[in-house]
A and B are shown apart, each in its own frame.
Chain A
Amino acid sequence: MKFNRDLWFQELNLKLKVLNKDEDHIYYLIVTGPLKIQVVLPKNSSYKNAINSFFNAQSAKELSPTIPTIYCLDESYINKLPPFRLSKNDLNLIDFESRLSSQTKIINYDEKRKLLKALNTSDQNYLFLCESFDSLPSWEVYSPLKEFIHFIALKKNCWLSHAGSLCKNNKAVLLFGPGGNGKSTTTLTGLNADLQTVGDDYVLIENFNEKFYAHAIYKTIKTYPSELFDLHKSFEKFERQLIERTGKYVYICEEDKESNIFTHSAEIVMNMGLHLNKNLTSNECDNLNFDARYMSLSSIEQIPFWVDKSSKFSEKIYRSLPNYFSNFKEGEASLDKNIEYILNFISSQGYQNDL
């Protein structure tokens, strides 16, 4: 029988709701900026570690029916959920249709990792199903559920952007650029200069009343051990894991007044494009350009769904705020120059302490 996506989602919805009454589950509430998200986990699930990567995840006693809910389940639930039988072609087609926001019922399946993500964006229930939480790749643990956040955010006039960030006095500068162009390193250099951050890799951007705000979604900092500079003492108290694929450490920066690394929210005052200039000729440098595409491309690469909305959001923020492109060379001096520019820019904006 041909797979009927509408019926499957209907059935999924009913079966997920049954789990709400089951006492074998625990609930979390994640609040950041205007977003509220609930997560449901089996009581003894090892995915609790991933929830700990969120900046602000609190245990909840019960679920609210009006808040989007992500059910994170493992293979022991497969038989409790509607059978999922899709051919390779069907999966490819759904995946492709999900590039644009006209598609509201999204099924993304990663065969290699036996990972199924099902989202009906006109509904409140979302499914993250994997064979085993213990075999998940690092990005599903240290930047968890990012596709889900992406869709939920876009429905709330927000955008989950692949960006670093530096903040002072409730003002934020966002750092854009493809992976390997210094977002994390620049963020870390800024932290070393007593700036704060709302994230070194992902930032939730809110557009409200003609202004843009950056909100922390994850409290992780990814860094090569050699990049810690004077911050080492601040960081050594945090739990850390080595990501073998990249050779980076990821630190879970538990919120405390002493560390002062993260701030929850800040008004965005500038977009900074970063390009780490390794071997470019001067002609090639001249052709580089910081535009809305440069801002959105790495986000789209990370989450290639509802690309139309991601592109439009990035155009909006690019047009609305001052933009600065730093095509910099490797080395401490260049990084310090970037930080100096950011500090001067934020200072020129005056103070705002009432956010």
Chain B
Amino acid sequence: MTNEIKTKNFRLKTPPTIMEVIDGEAIMINGEKGTYYNLSSQATLIFQCILDGYSLEEISSLNDLEPDVGKHIETMIDKLINEDVLEETNKVNHRASPSQLMIGNFQKDIVLTIYDDMQDMLALDPIHEADDVVGWPEKK
């Protein structure tokens, strides 16, 4: 699987996932699962490169990544694919220049944290019962 991941391009799978970057860290929520994902700032840089249309192979070579670090990132991407956060795309559209891809080479700084303790709160909310056609309030 890893060779495939290395050369492929990915995009955010939305729906069901939404994303926001706060203080340099990406936060994503999968609305179907209600799962919350937090990427460390280094992981966010890599993630943004991926969303900018770079393959992992390109990111690795542009940044001269250690093999262990490359493998660590592959595992992270694989997890995000399995979590329906990322999906493969054929549309390659480099939105950033290679000079913007400078990332650290430390495995410990590239962290994906997955939280499933808020699933009831964050999943798509099924409480709304407004009429599909007329909404609320009904015309008086």
Contact = CB atoms under 8 A, between A and B. Distances in A.
| Most chain B CB within a 10 A radius of its CB, from A95, A101, A308, A309 | A308
B55 to A, nearest CB: 26
B19 to A, nearest CB: 7
A86 B130 contact: yes
Given A86-B130, A91-B130, A100 B27 contact: yes
Interface stretch (B40-48, B91-99, B102-110, B131-139): B131-139
Contact of A87 (B25, B27, B135): B135
A12 interface: no
A109 B130 contact: yes
A87 B20 contact: no
B121 A300 contact: yes
Interface stretch (A33-41, A111-119, A232-240, A344-352): A111-119
Contacts of A93: 124
A97 B121 contact: no
Chief secondary structure at chain A's binding surface: helix
Contacts of B131: 87-88
Chief secondary structure at chain B's binding surface: loop
| Most chain A CB within a 10 A radius of its CB, from B38, B121, B136 | B136
Contacts of A97: 18
B128 A96 contact: no
Contact of A85 (B38, B125, B134): B134
A102 B18 contact: yes
B128 A91 contact: yes
A256 interface: no
Interface string A80-93: 00011111110111
A246 B25 CA distance: 39
Nearest to A78: B137
A92 B27 contact: no
A92 B124 contact: yes
B129 A100 contact: no
Interface residues of B, number: 32
Nearest to A302: B121
A100 B20 contact: yes
Nearest to A131: B137
B121 A304 contact: yes
Contact of A110 (B36, B127, B135, B140): B127
A312 interface: yes
A307 B36 contact: yes
A96 B19 CA distance: 12
Contact of A114 (B132, B133, B136): B136
B62 interface: no
Contacts of A99: 18, 29, 31, 122
B48 to A, nearest CB: 15
Contacts of B125: 92, 95-96
A307 B29 contact: yes
A109 B128 contact: yes
A85 B135 CA distance: 5
B36 to A, nearest CB: 7
B121 A301 contact: yes
A116 B136 contact: yes
A152 B44 CA distance: 28
Contacts of B121: 300-301, 304, 307
Contacts of A308: 20, 22, 27
Given A84-B136, A84-B137, A309 B22 contact: yes
Given A87-B135, A99-B122, A309-B22, A111 B29 contact: no
A308 B44 CA distance: 15
A87 B130 contact: yes
B88 to A, nearest CB: 24
B23 interface: yes
| Most chain A CB within a 10 A radius of its CB, from B125, B128, B135 | B128
11 contacts: A88-B130, A88-B131, A91-B128, A99-B18, A99-B29, A102-B20, A109-B136, A110-B127, A111-B128, A114-B137, A301-B118
Given A84-B135, A297-B118, A307-B29, 12 more contacts: A78-B140, A84-B136, A87-B130, A88-B128, A88-B130, A89-B132, A91-B128, A92-B124, A93-B124, A95-B128, A101-B20, A111-B136
Q: Which 5 A-B pairs have the closest CB atoms?
A: A85-B135, A111-B129, A308-B27, A100-B20, A91-B128
